[in-house]
Amino acid sequence: MPVSLCGTWDMVNSVNLDGYMIGLGISLYTRKIALKLKHRKVIEKVGDRYVVKTLSTFRNYTFSFRVNEEFEEFTKGLDDRHCKSLVTWEGNKLVCIQKGEKKNRGWAHWMEDDKLHLELYCEDQVCKQVFKRVV
């Protein structure tokens, strides 16, 4: 059984978020704002659904899903695109493929040394973020 990613997590490191946002076609103006933010992740399990919230002082993004069940994702407030998304466990990694206009789009979450890791993929870009648990 994979470890639980549930909890509240604060970003402590972020590498190449700008490249990821360029891949998504985000404007320079919005990228400048987004790069200054400290993101907080709140991951909850409600019944058999996960609810994932990315919170910041600028915008919030919340979505929910069941593992192994494709869903319609609208990335409201991010790049405002529609994707057909599918989240699965690959070993201890929670992996999402976001099919849509952008090639090679998705993300992966996993735990390592009590930290929550996130990789965000879009086109040829990879953003890597690390979060520590909020106690």
Residues that bind ligand 1AG (CB under 6 A): 21, 24, 26, 30, 34, 37, 39, 41, 52, 54, 56, 58-61, 78-79, 107, 109, 118
The least distance separating ligand 1AG from the CB of residue 114, rounded to whole angstroms, comes to: 18
The least distance separating ligand 1AG from the CB of residue 1, rounded to whole angstroms, comes to: 19
Rank residues 58 and 113 by Cβ distance to ligand 1AG and give the closer one: 58
Contacts of 45 (CB under 8 A, 6+ apart): 4, 6, 51
User: 3-state DSSP call for residue 100?
Assistant: coil
d(CA 111, CA 3): 8
Rank residues 47 and 131 by Cβ distance to ligand 1AG and give the closer one: 131
Contacts of 41 (CB under 8 A, 6+ apart): 8, 9, 11, 52, 53, 54, 55, 116, 118, 131
Torsions phi, psi for 128 (to 5 deg): -120, 125
The least distance separating ligand 1AG from the CB of residue 47, rounded to whole angstroms, comes to: 18
Rank residues 61 and 71 by Cβ distance to ligand 1AG and give the closer one: 61
